[in-house]
Structure 1
Amino acid sequence: MTGTIVDVTVPTKQFTLEHTLGEFETVTFEVKQMVATTQDSLMPFMRIETTDCARLESAFATDDSVADFERIADFDTNCLYQLEWSECIDNRIRVLVDHNATVLTATGQDDTWDLRLLFADHNAISRTNTSCKEHGIDFDVKNIHELSGQQCKRFGLTDSQQTALRLAAARGYYSVPRDVMAEDLAAELGITHQALSERLRRGHGSLVDHLLSNGSGTPELTELRQTEREEETS
């Protein structure tokens, strides 16, 4: 079985942060994935390119899609927030990941969200597209990337990471709610829960890093370092 990565666009008014994005003409909102998040929390961390945090927080406070927010960290030209979505927005996000999919990256700007989704199989794309239409979400597919074993190597994934990611997708680990818990996956793979968590986190990180850099990294060196780290935690 191979994974499938899909690039899609979704109108802001059908997704989230329509009001906040409308308040800023050039600001980019980028979702940051954190493995430590629970299965009930989707897209909770957002990096925003702005130095005007007061204006941003004022927009959050009057945005119907945001139930609560907290500034986590400040950087030179951007800041990191933890967001809690209103129930209707949370449900919209779940529609996107309901069929064994996970959000790798999500970037909002102007009136559009650009999403990169990882699906367990190609058929799940059609099921997600159907679900989006049923919920009034325009799921506009831009690119589809089928990941063969050789392609996974180019994305800097080790064999053990490929195995863990594919098993997690096949067993419904990325479904909402999850069909299997991490402890069960770890037992099936014959490794500790900590080793599985590290394996998935590094696998997700490699996918995101290589996809965002268009493969311009150094997969061989990355793979070597990841293998060494996994051996330390196995």
Structure 2
Amino acid sequence: MTSIADIEIPAAETGLGEVFEAAPSMNVEVEQVIASNGRGLWLSGPSQSEIETALAEAPAIEEHTSISRGDDRWLYDVEFGRDVVDVFDLVLDERGTVLRATASEGTWYLRIRFAERDSVSTLYDRLRENDITPTIVRLFDLTEDVHSRCGLTTRQYETLVAAIDHGYFEIPREISMQELSDELGISHQALSERLRRAYRALVTTELDVADESATTPAITSD
């Protein structure tokens, strides 16, 4: 059964611990799609010169490269040393998908989707074994009862959740439809059709509007 877990991790116990010590006002958001051997991190809060200094002096960071910039934030490709525990690799090992990862005020906030609920406990234990102290803030299953009341299929519900978590509905958008389709492992067209069906289901169910275009209910898992 698919489960969603919201987890908090002290940044001091990760490779960015020294960075937060040097720049406590730092805000971090993990880039969802980036082609590199490191981690794409959007950094904001301090000035860019303060960020550069904190990255350069952090012993856990081997290399950092400025890639792009947005409104008062900068995208860096950051490579950590081999001794640094990669939390995201541990998540992948447990068949988890990081839907959102941000850090501020010395704490990482992760939203992770797991194919199996038991994987949450396994990840928790593996983090503790690596001297990382996770706190499970919220854990819920994507059961039929959660979304059926809104007229959504499981895939439609999961797609909307992923779209929200990846910032697809933000202004401006934090992820394109192509990037979101790549993240979900489906085609651009399939994602577009799934979202349209989900929008229609929400409108017709929540606003009690009859869907006159569908004289015969369509049977679909999307």
TM range (shorter): 0.5 to 0.7
Residue 185 (structure 2) aligns with? 200
Task: Considering fraction of residues, name the structure with more helix.
Answer: 1
2:129 to 126, 134, 137: 134
* Amino acid in structure 2 at the alignment position of 1:220: Y
Match of 2:168 in 1: none
- Contact 2:8-2:135 at 8 Å conserved across structures: yes
Q: Percent identity?
A: 20
* Aligned AA (2:24): E
Equivalent position of 1:64 in the other structure: 59
- Matches of 2:111 and 2:42, distance apart in 1: 16
Who wins on radius of gyration, i.e. which is larger?
2
Number of corresponding residues: 173
Match of 1:94, SS?
helix
TM, length-normalised to structure 2: 0.64
Q: Which runs of 5+ in 1 are unaligned?
A: 164-195, 207-218, 224-234
Change (3 A) 1:102 1:62: same
Distance 1:152 1:70 in 2: 42
Alpha-carbon contact 2:31-2:40 (below 8 Å) kept = yes
Cα drift, residue 15 of structure 1? 1.5
- One-letter code of the match for 1:5? I
Q: Distance in 1 between matches of 2:72 and 2:132?
A: 32
Contact 2:142 2:154 in 1 (8 A): no
- 1:187 aligned residue: none
Change (3 A) 1:109 1:152: same
- 1:16 and 2:11 matched: no
**Considering only aligned residues, what root-mean-square deviation do their CA atoms show, in Å?**
3.6
> In structure 2, do the counterparts of structure 1 residues 29 and 222 end up closer, same or farther at CA, with 3 Å as the change threshold?
farther
Partner in structure 2 of residue 193 of structure 1: none
**Secondary structure in 1 matching 2:122:** helix
Q: Structure 1 residues 103, 56: closer, same or farther in 2, change over 3 A?
A: same
Question: How big is the shift at 1:32?
Answer: 1.7
* Matching residue within 70, 93, 98 for 1:98: 93
Is contact 1:49-1:77 (8 Å) kept?
A: yes
TM-score (norm 1): 0.61
Partner of 1:122: 117
- Structure 1 runs (4+) greater than 3 angstroms displaced: 90-93, 149-154, 156-163, 196-199
| SS of residue in 1 equivalent to 2:140 | strand
